[in-house]
Structure 1
Amino acid sequence: MDIRSRLVAPVLGLGQIVAFASSYYLLGVLADPIAAELDIPSGWLFLALSAAFLVSAILTPAAGRWLERHGGRRMQGWAHVVFAAALLLLAAAPSPAVAVIAIVGLGVGMAIGLYSSAFAILVEIHGQGARPYITQVAMLGALGGALGWPTSRMLLQAFDWRLACVVWASAHLLVCLPLTVFLLPKRSPRPAEPEGARGRLRWDRRMIQIAALFAGGWVVATAMGAHLPRLLEGLGMTPARAAWAAGLMGASALAARLFDLLVLHRSHPVLTVRLASLFHPLGAAVAVFGGAKLAPLLAVGQGAGNGLLSTASGVLPLHVFGPERYAVRQAMILTPARYFQAVAPAAWALTIDASPLLALALSSLICLGVCALTFGLAPAGE
Structure 2
Amino acid sequence: MLSERTRTVSALGVVQIFTWGSSYYLLSVIAPEISRDTGWRPALVTGGMTLGMLASGLAARRIGALIHVHGGRPVLSGGVGLIAAGLLTMGLSTHVAVYLAAWVLMGLGMGAGLYDAAFSALGRIYGRDARGAITALTLWGGFASTVCWPISAWAVETVGWRGACFGYAALHLCLTLPLCWFALPRVPPALEPPEPGAPAARPPLRDARVWAIAVTGTLMAMIASIWLVHIVPLLGARGYGLAAAVALGTLIGPAQVAARVVEMAGRGRHHPIWTQTISVTLFALGFAGLKFGIAAAVAIVAYGAGNGLWSIARGAVPLAVFGPRDYPRLMGLLATPMLLAAAAGPAVGALMITRLGAERVLDILFVMALVPLAVTIPLLLRIRRDERVAPAGMV
Q: Is TM (by shorter chain) over 0.5?
A: yes
For residue 211 of structure 2, the aligned residue among 192, 208, 211 is 208
C-alpha spacing 1:191/1:27, structure 2 compared with 1 (3 Å): closer
Question: Map of 1:205-354 to 2, 5 A cutoff?
Answer: 205-263=208-266, 265-290=268-293, 294-353=295-354, 354=356
**8 Å contact from structure 2 (residues 125, 189) kept in 1:** no
Q: Which amino acid aligns with 2:363?
A: A
**8 Å contact from structure 1 (residues 124, 187) kept in 2:** no
User: Is the deviation greater in 348-357 or in 225-234?
Assistant: 348-357
Counterparts of 2:88 and 2:188, CA distance in 1: 34
Q: Which amino acid aligns with 2:331?
A: Q
C-alpha spacing 1:229/1:146, structure 2 compared with 1 (3 Å): farther
Counterparts of 2:273 and 2:304, CA distance in 1: 18
**Deviation (angstroms), 1:96:** 2.4
Q: Which amino acid aligns with 1:332?
A: L
Q: Which amino acid aligns with 1:137?
A: L
Counterparts of 1:243 and 1:264, CA distance in 2: 34
Q: Which amino acid aligns with 2:357?
A: S
Structure 1 position 180 matched with structure 2 position 180: yes
Counterparts of 2:143 and 2:301, CA distance in 1: 16
Consecutive unaligned residues in structure 1, runs of 5 or more: 194-198
Q: Secondary structure at the match of 1:94?
A: coil
Structure 1 position 373 matched with structure 2 position 357: no
Partner of 1:143: 143
**8 Å contact from structure 2 (residues 124, 189) kept in 1:** no
Q: Which amino acid aligns with 2:76?
A: Q
**Deviation (angstroms), 1:309:** 0.6
Partner of 1:196: none
C-alpha spacing 1:330/1:173, structure 2 compared with 1 (3 Å): same
Q: Which amino acid aligns with 1:217?
A: M
C-alpha spacing 1:2/1:157, structure 2 compared with 1 (3 Å): closer
Structure 1 position 100 matched with structure 2 position 82: no
Overall identity of the aligned pairs, in %: 31
TM-score under structure 2 normalisation?
0.89
C-alpha spacing 1:225/1:301, structure 2 compared with 1 (3 Å): same
1:8-66: per-residue Cα shift (whole Å, max 9, x none)?
11111111111111111111111111122111101101122111111111111111111
Q: Secondary structure at the match of 2:266?
A: helix
Consecutive unaligned residues in structure 2, runs of 5 or more: 194-200
Structure 1 position 83 matched with structure 2 position 80: no
**Deviation (angstroms), 1:185:** 2.2
Q: Which amino acid aligns with 1:55?
A: A
User: Is the deviation greater in 255-264 or in 280-289?
Assistant: 280-289
Partner of 2:365: 363
TM-score under structure 1 normalisation?
0.92
**Deviation (angstroms), 1:172:** 1.0
**8 Å contact from structure 2 (residues 120, 331) kept in 1:** no
Counterparts of 2:150 and 2:174, CA distance in 1: 21
